[in-house]
């Protein structure tokens, strides 16, 4: 008996969000991700699932209705800039619903099969309850966490290895002891949050690190924080905010990681929380070849 394939959840509308020419968070990112997972050598290791768009009920577990209505109205009016680097196009609301639906669908697949990957775009971990920022509109990983809890996974661990701190994720969960959040990120760097003394209700474990350290330090320090978060607390579900801008050479970060390190992390996380499921959700990653290589390493390690 071979290992069952990894569910990869996607939606074609994730490509429709278009922040404009020259923007790093461009539609080609999702093409690179899906293309990397459609190669012949992965054919038996991946099972494709098209998501349903998120429902209002799923979104309103995380974001107030007034905020969601505002995003929808701006998009339907043709789009516009929400801040210096977060831009809506006419189809961005459709893409945001699709991305949050991919996140929820990945959790459903993960709870059924033990692991899954969701190709979420636009990314989500900077989105606050009522504010879009940092390319992010809906906080996909928190939507996913709440979906997991609805389906019986009472305790959720979120591990964020994007090179930027997930300020939105932290703000949304830092008063909730049922969710623990571990983030390793370049510091000081955008968005300026994520100091080590930001602890929430004892459920936030930040690992701020400078750029340019040797790879091994980043790998070990993130896993040490995961071990601290798990001390005396067993998660029913582990979600990865899988940002591939932490790889060496990404234009928006200065970490030194290689795709092998992504695989090392993925395997180590699976071992640490087994038999609880591990579900990866796409965050950043802005150099297409690195993004593709990182996603392949992550999904192969999930397999």
* Chain center to CA of 103: 9
Give the pair of three-digit tokens for residue 236.
């029913």
Q: What are phi and psi of 157, to 5 degrees?
A: -105, 125
Question: Residue 268 contacts by C-beta under 8 Å, 6 or more apart in sequence?
Answer: 223, 226
| pTM check: above 0.85 | yes
CA end-to-end span of the chain: 14
CA–CA gap between residue 225 and residue 229 (Å, rounded)? 6
CA–CA gap between residue 11 and residue 96 (Å, rounded)? 11
Average pLDDT, the chain: 98
The CATH number of 6-302, from 3.20.10.10, 3.30.530.20, 3.40.800.20, 3.30.70.20, is 3.40.800.20
Question: Residue 266 contacts by C-beta under 8 Å, 6 or more apart in sequence?
Answer: 240, 278, 280, 297, 298, 301, 302
Structure-token match 């969000």, residue found? 17
Under DSSP, the state recorded for 163 is S
In the predicted model, what is the mean pLDDT of residues 194-218? 98
Angle of helix 28-37 relative to helix 288-302, nearest 10 degrees?
40
pLDDT tens across 237-256, in order? 999 999 999 999 999 999 99
Q: Is residue 3 predicted with pLDDT exceeding 90? A: no
Give the pair of three-digit tokens for residue 124.
């989500």
Give the pair of three-digit tokens for residue 90.
């006419």
Whether the CB-CB separation of 182 and 144 falls below 8 Å is answered with: no
Q: Locate the domains of the chain by residue range.
A: 6-302
Structure-token match 């234009």, residue found? 251
- Per-residue pLDDT, 2: 74
pLDDT tens across 110-142, in order? 999 999 999 999 999 999 999 999 999 999 999
DSSP string for residues in 200-251 = TTTTEEEEEE-TT--HHHHHHHHHHHHHHHHTT---SEEEEEE-GGGBTT-T
- Catalytic positions: 126
User: H or E stretch including 149?
Assistant: helix 140-150
pLDDT tens across 253-296, in order? 999 999 999 999 999 999 999 999 999 999 999 999 999 999 99
């Amino acid at each position: 008996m071979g290992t069952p394939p990894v569910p990869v959840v996607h939606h074609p509308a994730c490509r429709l969000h278009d922040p404009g020419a020259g923007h790093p968070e461009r539609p080609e990112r999702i093409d690179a991700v899906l293309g990397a997972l459609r190669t012949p050598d992965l054919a038996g290791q991946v099972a494709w699932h098209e998501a349903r768009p998120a429902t209002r009920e799923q979104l309103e577990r995380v974001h107030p209705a007034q905020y969601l209505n505002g995003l929808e109205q701006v998009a339907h009016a043709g789009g516009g800039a929400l801040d210096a680097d977060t831009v809506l196009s006419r189809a961005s609301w459709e893409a945001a619903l699709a991305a949050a639906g991919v996140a929820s669908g990945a959790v459903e697949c993960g709870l059924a099969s033990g692991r899954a990957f969701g190709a979420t775009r636009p990314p989500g971990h900077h989105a606050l309850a009522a504010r879009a920022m940092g390319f992010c509109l809906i906080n996909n990983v928190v939507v996913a966490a709440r979906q997991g809890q609805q389906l019986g996974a009472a305790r959720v661990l979120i591990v964020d290895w994007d090179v930027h701190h997930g300020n939105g994720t932290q703000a949304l969960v830092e008063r909730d002891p049922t969710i623990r959040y571990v983030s390793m990120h370049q510091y000081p760097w955008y968005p300026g949050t994520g100091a080590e003394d930001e602890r929430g209700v004892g459920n936030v474990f930040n690992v701020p690190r400078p750029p340019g350290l040797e790879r091994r330090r980043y790998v070990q320090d993130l896993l040490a924080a995961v071990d601290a978060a798990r001390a005396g607390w067993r998660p029913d579900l582990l979600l990865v905010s899988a940002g591939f801008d932490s790889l060496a050479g990404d234009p928006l970060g200065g970490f030194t990681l290689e795709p092998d390190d992504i695989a090392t992390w993925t395997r180590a996380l699976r071992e640490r929380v087994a038999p609880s499921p591990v579900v990866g959700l796409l965050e950043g990653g802005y150099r297409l070849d690195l993004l593709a290589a990182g996603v392949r390493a992550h999904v192969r390690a999930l397999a």
